[in-house]
Structure 1
């Protein structure tokens, strides 16, 4: 057995900025590709065709969130200590547990997809000709999830590798979109291409993970799961909490789109989706920042003590808040023109929908560090509580404002994100204050 290595001090902010630099490098390139293939899709399919594509894709993403556990967070939260001490057998057992849970979730998701598409497709006003391909597409998305290998790469600080692997998706989609546009532009063909690209990306992610963690992924580390659970007290509860958080995230990200499809039809859903895609492009920075800080917070808490951790939190939170303000100003200045440029004249009226979605994205970015902070301090339930309350507010607002059309649902989203930000800000302040007092 390997002797655990002595813990090394963490560099804190410099590590986070290094991680973020790799992520932004890849995602910045991916964002350009995404705008290009969105333009191809929206202009080659038209409003209604793009609306059908958006509803199928959004439903697939919602299914992934409903049955999928955020196992990458579990690997970072509970695997950080094993990696810190280079205990690869223990880390490997946790990896196999997470991978098994992902497989179970994908199986259940396929069953749920069958129930939704073959029993309730009319609720989304979905063309019956798309039911079969929509079901198969959702099944592929479920099995192509990369959350476990994503966690392996991130807990090992290999953000450079993640950048290269994840670049396959936007590049592949752009190449496929251009090829389909000049040959046979149709919803079915785009869905098939997207599914194949996601499967390829998942395969490459697993191969990359096996290369950087060969000892952890040995088959002898598979089970017994009872030992893994004993080695990581609280992991079951953490799985449950992160699952609920993923469900609530889907409520915020995919729920409004599905509501537009239900209340207003595929054409309105297409316009909303394009505006939402642009807004999420700006808010994507919040997800990237969260991914960059999550492993560093988990490990800095172990290595640097509460004083150093609190200093790191203040630095990163200030950066996130400033980024949120900058993103909002930029998006409001160029967002509407960008929407018209990407979607064409048919989608230009979505500019009024983009404004509230950008406001919501800004709140999401400003609070991007809060969940990793609370998780690293052992308060994983608190972000869930805040998002659950904000989710209830979102649902109530959607029901009240749906009569205003897509723009009303957009303002409901902005309200939900604002409430989540305020609640999380309060919780982080209280928890850090108590942790500092107890130190």
Structure 2
């Protein structure tokens, strides 16, 4: 009986089962990361103290915001335009698309390196960083910017090879955990932790490309789909999709990282440390949401590519129910165990982060409840609507921060994050509901003559 169920699980073409099957690979990587991150976060917070941890996270956050602004994320473009190529057996076109996205990502990384070199002296003057810390920041930034990881991620997901993707993702927490252990028995310092964080990004970059080149088999065309030739996207279509998805990604990074940087600059490193600890725990939930959302985007792209309207609608509503129930369960756990989690990980001096954790956790769970909304709009070719929702949330975030941060400090910033999440999710839901009701045709396909 159990063997029969396992066989159905591994071979079923039910859309939601395919999403869960691909998610299981990413859950394995995120599960490893979640366990190990508890340990290396404990080492990091206890070694650097509240203020030192806040300063470290300001550095990491600033680098990641710069990467989001200048180093374009390409994995969604590879999936969106590459899946139809693979379904049609046009492997040469898929390779050409992948190479194009590789160069887009690399050139953006080079621009980001130049920007960091120009801006680093201003950050050093603000926080009083000495020469070794500045060198470590520059080294960490160069590694993050030049590690082309988004393109191989898109290649593996388009080819339905989420196992390879999981291996690359799992490397980062493994290296950080091992590096943090070495530092705690030697001499923990901000410079040392920056070196470890950079090394984890570099090794993950190497492993991701190894996974891409290790095997070249791709998605097999289902049924008679091999008879379909795919019309390449126009330059305008490609650039518009790349622009909208990257702006949406930038906004999510700004919400997650830039607020910490702002708190650090205007309230102080200690406040940034408390805010970031709460944000880190809350965002561990967001990472679990991404585990489900990314295979969901790949599956929705496949259904839209072959024009299966009914299946995409069913998958959308089923995924929405699953994510809403999961979000409610997770928030109850956070409410009951949040204080204990903070004390266990970082010690009693961080307990002031608990109210912040509840607000940021609520914001994250509201986003979790609607995790299928943005992938649906992107897969349906309506990435602009997803961007509009993100921009509305960001404008609200910026306007309210200007009022709440000076008056209420970190707790005010947490309330602003919650309000922004609610508004964004409402707009995404309205847009997604309209998109899913429209009849769908195969995307960018034309019959061979």
**TM-score scaled to structure 1, two decimals?**
0.91
CA contact (8 A) 1:152 1:209 kept: yes
Partner residue of 1:127 out of 126, 129, 136: 129
Distance 1:371 1:230, change over 3 A: closer
Query: What residue in structure 2 maps to residue 194 of structure 1?
Result: 197
Q: How many aligned positions are there?
A: 419
1:223-302 to 2 correspondence within 5 Å?
Answer: 234-302=237-305
Taking only aligned residues, the RMSD between alpha carbons, in angstroms, comes to 2.2
Partner residue of 1:114 out of 117, 128, 131: 117
Query: What residue in structure 1 maps to residue 344 of structure 2?
Result: 341
Stretch of structure 1 that moved more, 238-247 or 381-390: 238-247
CA contact (8 A) 1:68 1:243 kept: no
Shift, 1:10, TM fit: 4.9
1:66-81 to 2 correspondence within 5 Å?
Answer: 66-81=69-84
Distance 1:287 1:126 in 2: 36
Distance 1:39 1:80, change over 3 A: same
Q: Is the counterpart of residue 365 in structure 1 residue 368 in structure 2?
A: yes
Post-superposition Cα deviations, 1:345-397, rounded to whole Å, max 9, x if no partner, equal 22121112111100111111111111111112121100000100110001111
Query: What residue in structure 2 maps to residue 427 of structure 1?
Result: 431
Query: What residue in structure 1 maps to residue 387 of structure 2?
Result: 384
Shift, 1:286, TM fit: 1.8
Shift, 1:231, TM fit: 6.4
Query: What residue in structure 2 maps to residue 167 of structure 1?
Result: 170
Aligned-partner SS, 2:188: coil
Distance 1:190 1:51 in 2: 13
CA contact (8 A) 2:70 2:109 kept: yes
1:8-27 to 2 correspondence within 5 Å?
Answer: 10-27=13-30
Query: What residue in structure 2 maps to residue 417 of structure 1?
Result: 421
Shift, 1:436, TM fit: 7.6
CA contact (8 A) 2:164 2:208 kept: no
Stretch of structure 1 that moved more, 186-195 or 301-310: 301-310
Distance 1:132 1:211 in 2: 35
Post-superposition Cα deviations, 1:22-63, rounded to whole Å, max 9, x if no partner, equal 111221121010111000111111112212211111111111
Shift, 1:132, TM fit: 3.0
CA contact (8 A) 1:390 1:416 kept: yes
Aligned-partner SS, 1:127: coil
Q: Tell me, which stretches of 5 or more residues in structure 2 are unaligned? A: 1-11, 220-230, 442-449
Distance 2:111 2:313 in 1: 41
Post-superposition Cα deviations, 1:269-299, rounded to whole Å, max 9, x if no partner, equal 1111111100001121221111120110000
Partner residue of 2:160 out of 157, 162, 172: 157
CA contact (8 A) 1:252 1:391 kept: yes
Query: What residue in structure 1 maps to residue 311 of structure 2?
Result: 308
Distance 1:72 1:35 in 2: 28
Query: What residue in structure 2 maps to residue 6 of structure 1?
Result: none
CA contact (8 A) 1:59 1:254 kept: yes
Shift, 1:121, TM fit: 4.2
Distance 1:336 1:264, change over 3 A: same
Query: What residue in structure 2 maps to residue 408 of structure 1?
Result: 412
Distance 1:152 1:283 in 2: 23
Distance 1:45 1:86 in 2: 53
CA contact (8 A) 1:76 1:154 kept: yes
Distance 1:10 1:78, change over 3 A: farther
CA contact (8 A) 2:106 2:148 kept: no
CA contact (8 A) 1:307 1:436 kept: no
CA contact (8 A) 2:26 2:162 kept: yes
**TM-score scaled to structure 2, two decimals?**
0.89
Distance 2:258 2:391 in 1: 14
